[in-house]
Amino acid sequence: MKVVVDMNKCQDHGQCVFAAPEVFQLDANGRLAYVSDPDDALLDEVEEAADVCPLQAIRIEA
Amino acid sequence: MAPTSARVVVAGASMAGLRAAEQLRAAGWTGAITLVGDEPHMPYNRPPLSKEVLAGKAPFESLAFRPRASVADVEWRLGTRVVASRLAERTVVLDDGSELSYDGLVAATGMRPRRLRCPGPLAGRHTVRTLADAQGLRAELTRPGARVVVVGAGFIGCEVAATAVGLGAAEVTVVDPLPLPMVGPLGELLGRALLARHKERGVRFALGTGVAGFAGEDRVTGVILDDGTVLPADVVVESVGSLANTEWLGGNGLDLTDGVLTDEQLRVGGRPDVVAVGDVARFPNARYDGVPRRVEHWCIPTDTAKHAAKVLTGAEPAPFAPLPTFWSDQHDFRLQSFGAPALGMDDVRVLEGDPAGDVLVGYHHDDRLVGVVALGGPAIASAAARHRADLLKQPALTA
């Protein structure tokens, strides 16, 4: 799957990190970094991350 | 599995309703789903209403949720309200008089703003709950020289006051009967820190006083405080809490004293076919003291929907036990909370930083950390997040 985060929307809440830590991380400055092509086996976690993003900035493409 | 003719009706088509529909599909519900909601819009994200929408930075398209592909076939009855129900007959009544029968019912009707009941004109007085509310308020806030009075120093009131200052309003004053802003959810230590930060950024306060009435003939020109002082006002924002939309459930023998009472599985009235989700649900949290409470945090619609969808499709998961979390963006800083600060107000400690700058505060019950709140920039919010795993692991807190 392909994951796209709208970095104009992202405000570094980090809720996605709790939902899918293999895909989303906050760096030392609290800024988001993420894997844009995670394994399809992580779909449930990534969907959860998209759900809990306060800015709804995460989009999943098949 | 449901027969193909079976139907779940979701009363309420905001975030909680949408998440309920998505989670029903995820839980294996293949029957029909009908969502009934009074607003004309598809579900949208409300937190930006008091910030980016007021500031003119977020068009509706940027607020709308992107529903999962799994709910492409659900029926949306928008601009329509559920006005009554007969649970024994598995039937709800819509505002046009028509009836819908259901096999499963999700109560997701949410809240509406509480209004001040005191004398004076209505024009010029606003609330912030819907997109239409925020757009109407923005039109008045952006008039040159606008003097703004915000009644209520909670989440919405503090955010709106900060946004109004950012828009260049001539005067912004927050009125509240309590002595500090957000003192209920945060306690005195952070309430004082928040007050100082707002004042430094140009917000004025009239604290420890209620509102006796509104001055003006056709339109509000001032807010009259308890002692008779009049604060001149061109725009008033009432952010004094909210009321649960539960009238439609009346007559079914349910406890509707503050929202819809549920059991630890989010079931309503002991029925296997009715659940409540979102901020209308008053549920016991198995993580804490078992006292049923409504929770108006943004994450609750998603958390409740996930659990309730499993229950409505016949599963019996472990009792609902979400870890509360909230945030609030005001001016150039953020409040970020994990856990239940309200249960640890008698033992509040600074864990990192200083209340004059970025600070992380811990709330304790019987010497145990039960909640954290960070105030400041991204680094201190990350510090709060580091406590989340410990808060999740703790055994249940019994009364």
Summarize pLDDT for B342-390 with one digit per residue, the tens: 999 999 999 999 999 999 999 999 999 999 999 999 889 989 999 999 9
Residues of A in contact with B72 (CB under 8 A): none
- pLDDT for res B397: 81
Asked if B323 is an interface residue toward chain A (Cβ–Cβ < 8 A), one would say no
Where does the pLDDT of residue A31 fall: very low under 50, low under 70, confident under 90, or very high at 90 and above? confident
How many whole angstroms separate alpha carbon B232 and alpha carbon B173?
A: 10
A14–B379: do the CB atoms touch at under 8 Å?
no
Residue B324 lies in a domain: no
Residue B36 lies in a domain: yes
Alpha helices in B113-172 (DSSP H): 131-141, 155-166
Clarify whether residues B122 and B231 are in a common domain: yes
The parts of chain B modelled with pLDDT lower than 70 are: 1-4, 399
Q: How far is B41 from chain A (nearest CA, A)?
A: 17
Residue B270 lies in a domain: yes
A54–B19: do the CB atoms touch at under 8 Å?
no
Chain A interface test: which of B18, B57, B62 (most A C-beta within 10 Å): B62
Clarify whether residues B121 and B57 are in a common domain: no
Nearest by CB to A54, from B47, B377, B388: name it.
Answer: B47
Chain A interface test: which of B18, B382, B390 (most A C-beta within 10 Å): B382
Nearest by CB to B299, from A9, A52, A59: name it.
Answer: A52
How many whole angstroms separate alpha carbon B80 and alpha carbon B72?
A: 20
Clarify whether residues B106 and B125 are in a common domain: no
Identify the H or E element spanning A40.
none
**How far apart, in Å, are the Cα atoms of B239 and each of B50, B157, B341?**
11, 5, 22
Residue B321 lies in a domain: no
Q: Please give the residue range of the domain that contains residue B62.
A: 7-112+243-312
Clarify whether residues B279 and B292 are in a common domain: yes
Closest CA to B226 of B205, B204, B206: B206
Domain end: B202, B221, B240, which one? B240
- pLDDT for res B1: 47
How many whole angstroms separate alpha carbon A37 and alpha carbon B355?
A: 41
Residue B124 lies in a domain: yes
Taking phi over 0 as left and psi of -120 to 50 as alpha, with beta for the rest, B251 belongs to left
Both tokens of B245, joined, read 């939309």
Clarify whether residues B108 and B119 are in a common domain: no
Both tokens of B19, joined, read 């998440």
Q: How far is A15 from chain B (nearest CA, A)?
A: 9
B381–A56: do the CB atoms touch at under 8 Å?
no
Clarify whether residues B105 and B162 are in a common domain: no
- pLDDT for res B394: 87
B45–A56: do the CB atoms touch at under 8 Å?
yes
Chain pair A-B, CB pairs under 8 angstroms:
39
B68–A54: do the CB atoms touch at under 8 Å?
no
How many whole angstroms separate alpha carbon B46 and alpha carbon B36?
A: 18
CB B167 within 8 A of CB B142: yes
Both tokens of A14, joined, read 């980090």
Q: Beta strand pairing status for B242-244 and B211-215?
A: unpaired
- pLDDT for res B106: 99
Both tokens of A31, joined, read 């800024």
CATH number listed for the domain at residues A2-61: 3.30.70.20
Residue B319 lies in a domain: no
Q: How far is A53 from chain B (nearest CA, A)?
A: 9
Clarify whether residues B254 and B156 are in a common domain: no
Asked if B70 is an interface residue toward chain A (Cβ–Cβ < 8 A), one would say no
Residues of B in contact with A24 (CB under 8 A): none
- pLDDT for res B399: 56
Q: Which residues contact B389 (CB under 8 A, 6 or more apart)?
A: none
- pLDDT for res A29: 78
> Which residues, numbered 284 to 303 in chain B, qualify as contacts with chain A under a Cβ-Cβ cut-off of 8 Å?
298-299, 302
- Note the pLDDT tens digit of each residue in B310-351: 999 999 999 999 999 999 999 999 999 999 999 999 999 999
Clarify whether residues B164 and B85 are in a common domain: no
Residue B274 lies in a domain: yes
Clarify whether residues B261 and B201 are in a common domain: no
Chain B interface test: which of A51, A53, A61 (most B C-beta within 10 Å): A51
Mean of pLDDT values over A11-30: 91
B327–A47: do the CB atoms touch at under 8 Å?
no
Residue B399 lies in a domain: no
Clarify whether residues B145 and B76 are in a common domain: no
Rounded-to-10 torsion of CA A60, A61, B2, B7: 70
Say which CATH number the domain at B143 has.
Answer: 3.50.50.60
Nearest by CB to B327, from A30, A31, A54: name it.
Answer: A54
Clarify whether residues B27 and B103 are in a common domain: yes
Clarify whether residues B144 and B214 are in a common domain: yes
Asked if A43 is an interface residue toward chain B (Cβ–Cβ < 8 A), one would say no
Domain end: B221, B240, B259, which one? B240
- Note the pLDDT tens digit of each residue in B9-40: 999 999 999 999 999 999 999 999 999 999 99
